[in-house]
Amino acid sequence: MLARLTAVFTLLLILLTLSLSACSSSSLSPEAQRGEVVFTAQCAVCHSLIEDKVIVGPSMVGIKSRAGDRVDGMDATAYLYASLSEPGSYLVEGYQDLMPFNIGRDLTDQARDDVVAYLLTLE
């Protein structure tokens, strides 16, 4: 039964990936397109892509510009990597520390790079 559920889940994930790839903006790099798929599967349950819409965590609209201003001496790319690696370290004021602590370990290096590339497209 578990093997069958795993197969169904894998098939659904592949279909979602293909569907999102077909709908993705052609202006996104392949890395950012893959990051969009990972974001949709792993992050969108808590982070909205609608300005000022809060699900659990802050909206990701404008994250590219906000991330570069969050921590002195840290640009947007470094901040996003740090936020994935140690999510509780840079808690946004007004939000609880609810991000999965192991998200940085659960994502592959490639998936983490892809998510950061995608987030950097969200101006």
What integer pLDDT is reported at residue 39 of this predicted model?
97
Which sign, positive or negative, has the C-alpha torsion 30, 20, 84, 60? Answer: positive
To the question of pTM greater than 0.85 for the whole model, the response is no
Kindly report the average pLDDT of the chain as a whole number: 85
Could you tell me the CATH number of the domain that includes residue 13? 1.10.760.10
Please give the residue range of the domain that contains residue 46: 2-119
pLDDT band at 25 (very low <50, low <70, confident <90, very high): low
The number of residues in the chain equals: 123
Quote the tokens at residue 92.
């946004």
Indicate the number of domains in the chain. Answer: 1
> What are the pLDDT digits (tens) for 70-113?
999 999 999 999 999 998 888 999 999 999 888 888 999 999 99
Neighbours of 41 (CB within 10 A): 14
Between CA 103 and CA 97 the distance in angstroms is 13
The most distant pair of C-alpha atoms in the chain lies apart, rounded to whole Å, by 51
